[in-house]
Amino acid sequence: MTQGKKKPSAACASCEIPTHSRVCIFENGKGSKGCPTLLHDDILEEPRREYERPEIFEFARNASIQEGDGYADKSNNPFILEPTKTRIAEICEFARKMGYRKLGLAFCIGLAGEAAIVERIFINEGFEVVSVVCKAGRALKEELKINPEDYVMPPLKEPMCNPIYQARLLNAEKTQLNVVLGLCVGHDSLFFKYADAFTTVLAVKDRVTGHNPLAAIYLSASYYGKLLHKR
Residues forming the site for ligand SF4 (CB under 6 A): 12, 15, 17, 22-24, 31-32, 35-37
What is the smallest separation between the CB atom of 153 and ligand SF4, expressed in angstroms? Answer: 45
What is the smallest separation between the CB atom of 48 and ligand SF4, expressed in angstroms? Answer: 16
Considering beta carbons, is residue 25 or 214 the nearer one to ligand SF4? Answer: 25
Q: What are the residues whose beta carbons fall under 8 Å from the beta carbon of 57, sequence distance 6 or more?
A: 51
Considering beta carbons, is residue 21 or 86 the nearer one to ligand SF4? Answer: 21
Cα 105 from Cα 70, distance rounded (Å): 23
Considering beta carbons, is residue 35 or 170 the nearer one to ligand SF4? Answer: 35
What is the smallest separation between the CB atom of 29 and ligand SF4, expressed in angstroms? Answer: 6
Strands annotated E in the chain: 102-107, 128-133, 177-181, 198-203
Q: What are the residues whose beta carbons fall under 8 Å from the beta carbon of 12, sequence distance 6 or more?
A: 24, 32, 35, 36
Considering beta carbons, is residue 13 or 153 the nearer one to ligand SF4? Answer: 13
Element (H, E) at 119: helix 112-124
What is the smallest separation between the CB atom of 14 and ligand SF4, expressed in angstroms? Answer: 8
